[in-house]
Amino acid sequence: MSEQVNKPKVDYRFQKGAKMDYGIGIIGMGWVASNYHLPAYRAGNFNVVAICDIDEEVLETAQKKWGIEKVFTDYKEMLELKEVEIVDVAIRTFGRVPIVVDCAKAGKHLLVQKPFARSYHDGLAMVEAAEEAGVKLGVNSHYRWIPAFRGARSLIEQGYIGLPYYIIDEMSGNQDDAYYHAMPERRWNAYLDDFMQIEWGAHHFDFVRFWTGMEPTTVFCSGTRRPGQNFKGEMIVSYILEFPRGVHAAFLWNMANKFPDGRFDFRIEGTDGVIKGGGTHLELYSQKLGDEWFKWDLETMPGPGLPETYIGTMGDLMNAITENREHISSGRDNLNTVKAYLAGVLSEKLRRPVSPEEVPTYEQKYGILSV
C-alpha cells in the first residue's frame, strides 16, 4: 500500500474569515498576555488598539515593545473606546466576574482566559451577562488549536478510528521547580490548593470533550505530593473519567518530576483504529486503511508557546462575530468543562467518583469548591 496515495489529510490550521481587523483591547498585561498573546496577535496581524493593567511599569514596557499607543490603568476608561470591539480578559480568575460583566454591558465581545471560572456559578454569571448583552463570549481554550490535538479531532471526524472508547493522557514535567524558582512571576500558582485540578484541568477536560463530543458522566480524582515539593497542592494527579456508551479516559499527570524525561502525550483508541501523538507529532493506525502506520510532523509557527493556538482562539472569535455563530469554545460550552474539572476537585475532597452535575448543587449548599 502506498502511503503517498492513501495518507489521510489532516485539517488542523486556522482559517481566516472575511473580517480579521476587529479592534482588540487587553485587560491584564501579566506573563501570559505579554509573552504569548501579544506575540501571537502580532504574528496573526491582529489589531491591538489598547492595553490595560494596574502596573504602570508593565504598561510602559509593553507600549515600547509593541508600539501600542493607548494604555490604561482603569479598564472602564478603556471600555469607552469605540475602536475596542473585543476585550481579551487576561487577568486571573479571582475578581474576574465584575470585569467581564462590565465589558458585556459596554457591548464588547469577549475572549476570557482559561480557566474560565473557579466556580460554576461564577461562570454562569459571565455567560448570562454576555447573552443578555448580545455579545459573543469565547474562552481561551487554546489547546484545541495545538496541531496534534486539532489533527486528532480531524481524523476522528473523518471516521478513521470509529468510535473513540479509551483515551490515555499523560503529562510529566517539573513546574514545581520552574514556577517556584526559575519563574518567580508565576510563583502565585504555588499557593493554590488546586493548581493541577483547575489550571491544568481546564485544558485537559476541554480537549477530551472536544475529541469525544461527549460530556463525562463521572470523574474520579486522586492526588499526591512529591516529597519536598514547593507547591501547596498535589502535583501528582490521576483521573478516571467515564462517558456515555462505555467510553473511558485516564489522565496521568506528574508536574513535580525531577528527572529529564518530561512528556505530554496522548493515545486515543477507537473501534477501528488508534491515534497517538503530542505537540506537533501525530500518528494513525486505521483498520480501514490496511496494516500501516501513518505519521505526521505538523508545521507550526515560530515563536513562544505555539502562536497559532492563540491566533486560533482569537481568530475564531472574530469569525464567530462576522458569521453570527458561537465561538468554538464558547462560554456556554465551557461551563461543561468547568463542571468537569470542579467534579475532580470535589471527587478528591469526598474520596469518591463524582458526576459533574453534582457541582452546581454542591456549590449552592456548601459554597464554592475552590478558593
Question: pLDDT tens-digit profile of 22-44?
Answer: 999 999 999 999 999 999 999 99
The domain limits of the chain are: 147-301+330-350
0.85 surpassed by pTM: yes
Beta-bridged to residue 273, according to DSSP, are 286
Residue 371 pLDDT > 60: no
Residue percentage of the chain with pLDDT more than 90: 94
DSSP 134: T
Ranges of beta strands (E only) in 4-55 are 23-27, 47-52
On the CB side of 117, how many CA atoms lie within 13 Å of its CA? 28
Residue recorded with cell 469577549: 110
98 Ramachandran zone, left/alpha/beta (phi>0; psi -120 to 50): alpha
d(CA 137, CA 333): 10
Of 370 and 321, the one with more pLDDT: 321
**In the predicted model, is pLDDT for residue 288 greater than 70?**
yes
Cell, residue 168:
490515555
Q: What is the dihedral of CA 174, 180, 184, 190, to 10 degrees?
A: 110
Burial class (CB in 10 A: 0-12, 13-18, 19+), 101: middle
pLDDT of residue 3: 47
147-301+330-350 CATH pick, 3.30.360.10, 3.20.20.10, 3.30.200.20, 3.30.70.1450: 3.30.360.10
Could you give the CA distance from residue 117 to residue 108 in angstroms, rounded to a whole number? 19
Q: Give 346's contacts (C-beta < 8 A, 6+ positions apart).
A: 354, 358, 359, 362, 369
Residue 173 sits at the vertex; the CA angle it makes with 242 and 91, to the nearest 5 degrees, is 80
User: Over the stretch 123-147, which tens digit does the pLDDT of each residue have?
Assistant: 999 999 999 999 999 999 999 999 9
Calculate mean pLDDT across residues 170-175. 97
What DSSP designation does 330 have? B
The backbone torsions φ and ψ at residue 64, rounded to the nearest 5 degrees and listed phi first, read -70, -40
Q: Ramachandran region of residue 23, left (φ > 0), alpha (ψ -120 to 50) or beta?
A: beta
On the question of pLDDT at 5 being above 60, the answer is no
| Axis crossing angle, helix 201-212 with helix 331-350, rounded to the nearest 10 | 120
